[in-house]
C-alpha cells in the first residue's frame, strides 16, 4: 500500500495522509487539501502508516509548539 500526503490549503501546517485509492475521511473536504506526494511504506513514518491502516487517515501538524501541549 502507498500513502498519499496532502497539505491544508489555508492552514499549511496541517498534513493529512490517506491510503492510495482511499477517499477522504468523513468531514474532510478534498478541495481544502493540496496533494503533495505519494510515499511507499518504507518511506513513511511507522506511526503514520499504523494510523492510516487502523483509522483510514492520519492528521498531524508541523511546527507544534510545546505551549500547545503543556
pLDDT tens-digit readout, 23-51 = 999 999 999 999 999 999 999 999 999 99
Task: Tell me the pTM.
Answer: 0.90
- Residues 2-15 have a mean pLDDT of 97
What angle is formed at CA 20 by the lines to CA 47 and CA 55, rounded to 5 degrees?
45
Name every residue whose Cβ is closer than 8 Å to that of residue 22 and which is 6 or more positions away in sequence: 4, 56, 57
- Please name the residue ranges forming H helices in the chain: 46-55
pLDDT-based confidence at residue 22 (cuts at 50, 70, 90):
very high
Amino acid at each position: 500500500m502507498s500513502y498519499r500526503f496532502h497539505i491544508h490549503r489555508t492552514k499549511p501546517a496541517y498534513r493529512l495522509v490517506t491510503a492510495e485509492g482511499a477517499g477522504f475521511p468523513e468531514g474532510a473536504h478534498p478541495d481544502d487539501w493540496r496533494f503533495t506526494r505519494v510515499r511507499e511504506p518504507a518511506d513513511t513514518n511507522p506511526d503514520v502508516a499504523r494510523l492510516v491502516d487502523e483509522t483510514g487517515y492520519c492528521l498531524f501538524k508541523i511546527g507544534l509548539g510545546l505551549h500547545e501541549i503543556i
